[in-house]
Chain A
Amino acid sequence: MSSLLYRTEKGWLGREHPLTKLCLVLWAVSLILIVPWQAAAVLAALVTALGATLDSGISWLKRWLLALTPLAISLFIIHVCFLHPPDLLWFGLIPVSRRGLLESVSLIARVAFALGVFLLFLTVTHPSALLKALDAKKVPPGLSYVLASPLLLLDLFAERARSIQAAQQTRGLSLAQSVLSRLLALPALLVPLVTLGLMDNHSRSAALTGRAFRAFPYRTVLSPPPDQPHGPILRRILLAATVLQGGLATWLYWK
């Protein structure tokens, strides 16, 4: 099974140029840092609605909830019960803080929004389209390699980890006992995995050099994703807004 989150999307989000979507993500994340909590909550609701209307909306919602729920619970407990002195009793039993409650809601709304936006980006943008877009804009090939290779090699690495686990269990390594015995078994699983990974890297690096990778600061791309007429201007506006919003967020933080 592929580790990619991408699903085919026929709507406008799917058709938009990958770099425009990336700029939208940066703008949205910098925006959430400066808006009040009420606006953050509205934005989180909007991104949820947008995600739910994707062609793969159900799967998007499931992933979003799976990622958000543990984060939200942790943030809520820490802020409401521990970070601030309690000034209210819930059900006459649990001491909580009103300020903590407000802060946790504010944080959860911002995290929900940012997480939703990233997940939207990953769901509607195939990494290969992003790579081709970066290559077509003459971004150094090494940078795009850092983006793509973990996605492609993750499945290979996971499959190898499973093979090593099976091989070591055949040799008598037990993983079905206590947590301690599992911890003690870790080196027997990790050492071969890391060693093989390093060997692979050495060979792959030689193979990449053999095929002239990074011989030039740019490369030719077959079928780069088509750009919309408004794309270049929209990206410039979004990037400028991101810089402004980022600056404002920094100023508000240090004020």
Chain B
Amino acid sequence: MALLEIADLTFELAGRTILDGITLSIERGERVAILGANGSGKTTLAQWLAGWLPNVDHAASRGKLTFDGREWKDWPLPQRAAAVQLVGQLPVQQLSGREFTVRDEVAFGPGNLGLPVSEVSATTGEVLELCELTHLAGRDPFTLSGGEQQRTVIASALAMKPRLLILDEPVTNLDPSASEHIVRLVSELPPDITVVWLDTSPKIAIEFARRFLLLRNGKCVVDGSPCQVLLHPESLATITLPPSAQAARLAAKAGIWPDGLPYPLTLQEARVRFEQVKHDQS
């Protein structure tokens, strides 16, 4: 059984269809990137994946989502919190607003689960180290930079030891160095954690995701390998390609990229294929 299964999920808000018949399944340990333009339904889908939806005010018009075979509404809160964590794009909105140090912020979730002090302390220490936050452990989370705050939020999510980690445009507001830090962190996560990364561009997810999906107007229009999805005509019309693929596309427009040769998506592919093109032309 897949870890997460969505069958024909349709969700409307204020008379507008936000998610339109989404059907997909995610296996344990998968690294999935869901791409889509602004307003394509990524954040709403992330909230469904994380169990923030449905809630008392909002329900699906059709279809359902199950995690480990059960719908989120059947999960008691502590079990759900230990199963899935969502990290959004504005870290300041996700800090608890109750803890005065980074260490206590990270320990907040495990503390809420009522775990023994030794376990909370050990988990907090491990996660602070993993997220390179040990030197900031005594700082007030609200005084950190955006990148440090986002790492604190990710650390707080990891401290819950989730089986599924959802990251919804986590580096949108960060500078390149802070983004790189987050990507390295996500790339090095233990393989048993399933990661779903939602973004407008594949630039970062290409580093670690092995499966891509394209969301357009609330519908999942393409689902497959990075090559299948990113070079699909729907994707070319919707999202920004990685720089290497953009360069190849420009070369194709200029007539110097051979027909049938796939655009390179990573630096390694770019090196090989541009060498090949150079060799063919000489």
Contacts and interface: CB of A to CB of B under 8 A. Distances in A.
Interface of A: 2, 126-128, 131, 135, 141, 144-145, 148-149, 152-153, 155-156, 199-200, 203-204, 206-216, 218-222
A222 B100 contact: no
B48 interface: no
Considering residues B90, B95, B97, which has the most beta carbons from chain A within 10 angstroms of its beta carbon? B97
A220 B116 contact: yes
Contacts of B110: 220
A215 B77 contact: yes
Contacts of B85: 210-211
Given A152-B142, A200-B93, A222 B99 contact: no
A185 to B, nearest CB: 26
Considering residues A135, A209, A218, which has the most beta carbons from chain B within 10 angstroms of its beta carbon? A209
A215 B100 contact: no
Interface in B174-220: none
Nearest to B96: A208
Contact of A210 (B52, B114, B115, B117): B52
A219 B97 contact: no
Contacts of A216: 78, 112-114
Contacts of B124: 222
A211 to B, nearest CB: 4
Nearest to A203: B93
Contacts of A156: 92, 142
B103 interface: yes
B86 A220 contact: no
B171 interface: no
Interface in B108-155: 108-117, 120-121, 124, 140, 142
A219 B98 contact: no
Contacts of A210: 50-52, 81, 85-86
A115 B142 CA distance: 29
Interface residues on B, range: 35 or more
Nearest to B141: A152
Contact of A212 (B52, B77, B142): B77
B167 to A, nearest CB: 13
* A interface secondary structure, majority: helix
B104 A128 contact: yes
A206 B86 CA distance: 10
Contact of A220 (B82, B115, B142): B115
B97 A141 contact: no
B156 interface: yes
B88 interface: yes
Contacts of B86: 210
Given A211-B109, A212-B81, A215-B81, A127 B100 contact: yes
Contact of B111 (A199, A200, A203, A220): A220
B160 A211 contact: yes
Given A152-B140, A204-B97, 20 more contacts: A128-B101, A145-B97, A148-B98, A152-B98, A152-B100, A206-B47, A207-B96, A208-B96, A209-B81, A210-B86, A211-B108, A211-B112, A212-B78, A212-B81, A212-B82, A212-B109, A212-B112, A221-B111, A222-B103, A222-B124
20 contacts: A2-B140, A128-B101, A135-B111, A152-B98, A200-B93, A203-B88, A204-B94, A204-B95, A206-B47, A207-B88, A209-B77, A211-B96, A211-B112, A211-B160, A215-B76, A219-B112, A220-B111, A220-B117, A221-B117, A222-B117
B104 A222 contact: yes
Contacts of B140: 2, 152
A155 B142 contact: yes
B107 interface: yes
